[in-house]
A = this chain, B = another copy of it.
Amino acid sequence: NEIPHNEKLLSLKYESLDYDNSENQLFLEEERRINHTAFRTVEIKRWVICAMIGILTGLVACFIDIVVENLAGLKYRVVKGNIDKFTEKGGLSFSLLLWATLNASVVMVGSVIVAFIEPVAAGSGIPQIKCYLNGVKIPHVVRLKTLVIKVCGVILSVVGGLAVGKEGPMIHSGAVIAAGISQGRSTSLKRDFKIFEYFRRDTEKRDFVSAGAAAGVSAAFGAPVGGVLFSLEEGASFWNQFLTWRIFFASMISTFTLNSVLSVYHGNAWDLSSPGLINFGRFDNEKMGYTIQEIPIFIFMGVVGGILGALFNALNYWLTMFRIRYIHRPCLQVVEAMLVAAVTATVGFVMIYCSRDCQPIQGSTVAYPLQLFCADGEYNSMATAFFNTPEKSVVNLFHDPPGSYNPMTLGMFTLMYFFLACWTYGLTVSAGVFIPSLLIGAAWGRLFGISLSYLTKGSIWADPGKYALMGAAAQLGGIVRMTLSLTVIMMEATGNVTYGFPIMLVLMTAKIVGDYFVEGLYDMHIQLQSVPFLHWEAPVTSHSLTMVGATVWSICPMLLPSSLPAAVCCPGPSACRCCGMVPDSLFPHKVFVERANLSLVQRRLKLKDFRDAYPRFPPIQSIHVSQDERECMIDLSEFMNPSPYTVPQEASLPRVFKLFRALGLRHLVVVDNRNEVVGMVTRKDLARYRLGKEGLEELSLAQT
C-alpha cells in the first residue's frame, strides 16, 4: 500500500523536477561558448523534434482509432448476431452472458497489463501530466513502456465496453512520445541514438513534454489551439513566444497527420474530414444559431452541470478513498475492473431489454441497429446508445433530428451512465473521463431541450441538439473544471466559433457552482496522491508567513556526507555565507581531490557525464564512500552554480511562491541580511500550505 491513508499529507516519493540542474558551471560555460550558428542549429533541431512529436502522436492516435473501430465493430457484430438469433427463439440470457463475458475478458487483459506491468498507465494520465508540467517528477510517467501499456490498455478498455473514452490517454501518450524523442534515447529499450544530447536537461525536456501534451489534445479533439492552451494552462509558468509557437506547430502537425491518415483509411483521401479522434460534427450556424433570450437558459444548464459534476466528484472521492484502503492489491484491482465491465454490459442489456422505444430504421445512420422486440423496419433506440462507442453516441445525441429519442430513454440512460462512469473512473485501466462526461451531459442536455420544446410548444429555437451540446459542456466543465482551454477545445471540436460565448458562460457557471462544493476531479486525484503540486497562487491568507525558520537542510562545512540534496557551498571562517549552490547530481561521481595535493584533480567531470546520466542520477545513498575518501576534498568551484537564487528570510510566502512558480525553481536558499545561509526552501515546503475550510492548513510529510 504505497499511498497514504490520510489525504492531508505530502508524499515523499514525488521528487521535484530539477529545473536548475542545468545552472552549474559546466552548463553555463557551454552556453557562454555558444555562438549564433550553434544557436540556430539548436533552434532548428527543436522544430524538427516538434514536427516528429506531432507526426508520431498523430500516428498513435490513428492506430488507436483504427484498432478500436475494428475490434469494437467485431464485438458488436458478434453480440448483435447472437441477440438477433435468440430474440426469435427465446433465451436472451445467453446473449447477456456472451456480452458480459466478452467485455469482462477484454477488460481483464487491459487491467492485467496496467496493474501488473505499469500501474502509472492507469486512468487518463491527465493528473500525472499536470503534475509533470507543474514540476513534479512522477516515477515512470514518461517511459516508453508506459506508452505501450497505455495504448494497449485504452484500446482494450474501450473495446471492453467500459464507460470510458480514448481521448484523455492521448494527452499522456503525446507527452511520452515527446519525452522520448527529445532525449534521443529510450531507457526501456536501452538504446541511445546519440542525438539531441543538448536537450538532456529538465527545462528543455519539460518544454517538449508540453508540446507532446498539446499534440495529444490536438489529435484527440482536432483542437490545436485548445491543445496549446491546455499545455499553457497546466504547465507553462513562463510564457515564451517561440516555445508557444513550437507547441502550436506540434499540435497542428498532429491533427494534420491524423486527418490525412484517417482520410486515406476511410477511402476519401484528400478531403481531410477527421481532424480529431472525436469530432462533434458540423453545427450549422445558419440553422442553429442561438438568441439572446436563451442565455439565461444556458446559464441554468451550467448550474445543473456544476451540481451534477460536484456530485460525480464527491462520489468518486469516496470511491477512491475506499479503493485506497481496500483495493490496493493488483489482483483485486483486476477483479474490480472485470466486475465493472460485466455490470456495464448487464445494465446495458437490461435497459435495452426493458426499453420500448422503437424508431424507424429508414433514414437513420445507426451503425448496429438492433431490432429486438420492435416491429420490422424499426430499431431499439436505447440500443444505439449502448451499441456504439461512446464517441458515436455523443455525436448522435448532438445531431440526430428532433424526435429520435424518447425522453424516458434519455432519462434512464443519463442516470445509469452517470453511476457507471463514476464507478469506472479510477479503475486500474487506461481510460479517459472526457467522453463519458460529454455523453452524460449530452443525454440530459437533450432531455432538457426536449422538455423545453414541450413547454414552449415547439418554439423554433428549442433544437435538442444544441441543448445536448450545452449539457455536454456543462457536465464536462462541472467535472474537470478546466476553463479557457476547455472552451476552446469545445469550440474547435464543434468546428465553428458561433457557440463560443454560450459555451464559455456554461463552463464558467459550472466551474463556479462546482467549486462551491468540491474541487475538480483531476485536482482531487492529485491531492489524494499527496503530490507537492503548486497551484497558481499562494493561499490568500499566507502573507504573514515568512521564511524565518526555514529548514536548514545542509550547511557547510560538512559538505559531503549522506543525504544531501543540494548543498550550499559557503567559505568563510565563522558563519556560512552563500556563494553558490552545487547540484546533488555531482556527488555520485566521486570527484575527489586528495587533501595532500590540492592542485591535482583526480577526474574532471564533463558535461557529458551529466547528460549521459540524465535523468536518472543514482541516489546518493547508493554510493559507498570509504573512510579514505572521506578524508579527501572536492573542488566544487567548477560544478557550482555561482549565482543561485536567494531570498532574504523576511520574504513572505506569496513572494517566494511567485519566484518558484515564475522561474520553475526546485529550491531556494534563504539568507539573512549578511547573506549568511539560514536555510533552504523546497517545493514541498510551499505545497504544504493549503487553504482549508478553517483558513490556512499545514500538511505534514508522509513517511511512506
Contacts and interface: CB of A to CB of B under 8 A. Distances in A.
Interface of A: 28, 31-32, 34-36, 39, 222, 224-225, 228, 232-233, 236-242, 244-245, 248-249, 252, 255-256, 260, 270-272, 275, 285, 289-293, 483-484, 487-488, 491-492, 495-498, 500-501, 504, 508, 536-537, 540-541, 543-544, 577-579, 642-643, 646-648, 650-652, 654-655, 658-659, 661-663, 671, 673-675, 691, 695
Which 6 A-B pairs give the minimum distances between C-beta atoms?
A675-B675, A643-B651, A270-B291, A662-B662, A32-B543, A39-B540
Contacts of A498: 272, 495
Given A260-B292, A541-B36, A248 B496 contact: no
B249 A504 contact: yes
Contact of A256 (B36, B225, B244, B501): B501
A508 B249 contact: yes
Nearest to A659: B663
B491 A225 contact: yes
A654 B228 CA distance: 26
Contact of A642 (B224, B239, B500, B648): B648
Copy number in this complex? 2
Contact of A652 (B28, B35, B540, B579): B28
Given A272-B289, A484-B244, A31 B543 contact: yes
Contacts of A497: 222, 275, 492, 495-496
A201 to B, nearest CB: 15
A536 B240 contact: yes
Nearest to A238: B662
A248 B662 contact: no
Contacts of A650: 642-643
Nearest to A272: B289
Given A240-B537, A495-B497, A540-B39, A578 B673 contact: yes
11 contacts: A28-B652, A232-B239, A239-B239, A240-B536, A248-B484, A248-B487, A272-B289, A272-B291, A578-B673, A643-B651, A643-B652
Contact of A236 (B31, B239, B483, B544): B239
B674 A674 contact: yes
A654 to B, nearest CB: 8
A358 to B, nearest CB: 33
Contacts of A293: 270
Q: Which of A28, A249, A498, A648 has the most CB of B within 10 A?
A: A648
Contacts of A691: 36
Contact of A241 (B34, B228, B536, B674): B536
A81 B675 CA distance: 81
A607 to B, nearest CB: 15
A27 to B, nearest CB: 10
Given A35-B541, A497-B275, A497-B492, A674 B675 contact: yes
A483 B243 CA distance: 11
Contacts of A255: 501
A695 B35 CA distance: 9
Contacts of A655: 643
A662 B241 CA distance: 13
A188 to B, nearest CB: 33
A648 to B, nearest CB: 4
Contacts of A260: 292
